[in-house]
Amino acid sequence: MIHADVAGADHLDRSDRHESGGATDTVTPMRRRPLLALLPLALLLPACSGGEEAAAPADAKPADVMRIAQERFEQAGGVHIELSSSGLPQGQDGVSKASGDGSVDAKKPAFSGEVTGVIDGTAATVEIIAVGAKTWMSFFSADFNPVDMGDLGAPNPAEFFRTGSGVGQVVAESTGVTAGDRTRDGDVVLQSYTGSVPAKPVQDLFLLGEDADTFEVTYGIEPGSGELRTAEITGEFYAGETTTYTVDLSEYGKDVTVEPPA
């Protein structure tokens, strides 16, 4: 494309002449060069026009960064999630980690993957399919059977991906957020932000922390895209104990289709 533009400009320089009164007048090419220079910019404009806001600039207010991070997550369509924990009370029923893909949606969020935790005092890793409010579990069997995650002391993983009340809502309700250092997460450099969040959105998401008033949060935002990549939530998930759950997000926009088991 660069060679073609230059060639076109040279052609205009040489040939854009006309005769007037027997003399040859040269039309200066400078009138056309600015138009040619604008072509690459014009070609780039559609990439920024689809209603999606650009990532926040480096000097953006933390509140704006949080707003954009929420929008990025809730508009992702599909995303990969890794959930881990530290400081879990010994023998306490609940989820310790999870790995899978989620479909972000307001009406029917969905999840498919593995969940590890303690069930009735026994550690186990199970396959979970969750679509909306319904969940199915495969445990020591190839079949998926309906299960109420609340009865197991565990959250419905699909709820992490529900627009308006999932991970995005925890980000949206964060307060006192300040920027910290930049850190490397594998090949990605993240800008860290710390703050706190009222207990309710965390309680609604994890079905834990009923004795807590607030939770401390640390976010890792990818500056170029504005995407939330990590979220550490720390507080009294279990009475008298300080526990941290870490949510790692990647593969924004991936094609995720989760269907109820046959």
Q: Which pLDDT score, from 0 to 100, does residue 7 have?
A: 40
Same-domain pairing of 213 and 99: yes
Express each pLDDT in 21-77 by its tens digit. 444 444 444 444 443 343 343 333 333 434 455 566 667 899 999 999 999 999 999
118 lies in a domain?
yes
Say whether both 156 and 185 belong to one domain: yes
The answer to whether residue 40 is domain-embedded is: yes
163-194 pLDDT tens trace: 999 999 999 999 999 999 998 888 889 999 99
**Tokens representing 207?**
């079905």
Residue 259 lies in a domain: no
- Residue 111: strand pairing partners: 102, 130
* pLDDT grade for 162, boundaries at 50, 70 and 90: very high
105-141 per-position pLDDT tens digit: 999 999 999 999 887 778 889 999 999 999 999 987 7
User: Are 101 and 188 part of one and the same domain?
Assistant: yes
Please report which confidence band the pLDDT of residue 255 belongs to, taking 50, 70 and 90 as the band edges. Answer: very high
What's the pLDDT score for residue 35?
38
State the total domains in the chain.
Answer: 2
Is 109 contained in some domain?
Answer: yes
pLDDT on residue 57: 66
Domain that holds residue 89: 62-250
pLDDT for res 58: 65
- Cα distance between residue 73 and residue 62, in whole Å: 16
CATH code where residue 112 lies: 2.50.20.20
Q: Tell me, yes or no, whether 39 and 102 share the same domain.
A: no
Residue 257 lies in a domain: no
How far CA 1 is from CA of 30, 36, 86, 211, 216, in Å, comes to 20, 12, 54, 63, 51
Q: Are residues 81 and 38 in the same domain?
A: no
Q: How confident is the model at residue 152 (pLDDT cuts 50, 70, 90)?
A: confident
Q: Rounded mean pLDDT of the chain?
A: 83
Per-residue confidence (pLDDT) for residue 56, from 0 to 100: 66
Binned at pLDDT 50, 70 and 90, residue 154 comes out as confident
Distances (CA, A) of 228 to 10, 27, 59, 84, 130: 48, 54, 17, 16, 23
User: Do residues 16 and 87 share a domain?
Assistant: no
- The verdict on residue 260 lying in a domain is no
pLDDT over 70, % of the chain: 78
Please give the Cα distance from 130 to 157 (Å, whole number): 7
Q: Are 44 and 66 in a shared domain?
A: no
Longest dimension (CA), the chain: 102
Q: What is the pLDDT of residue 2?
A: 37
**Angle 146-117-130 from CA coordinates, rounded to 5°:** 30
* 106 and 193 co-located in one domain: yes
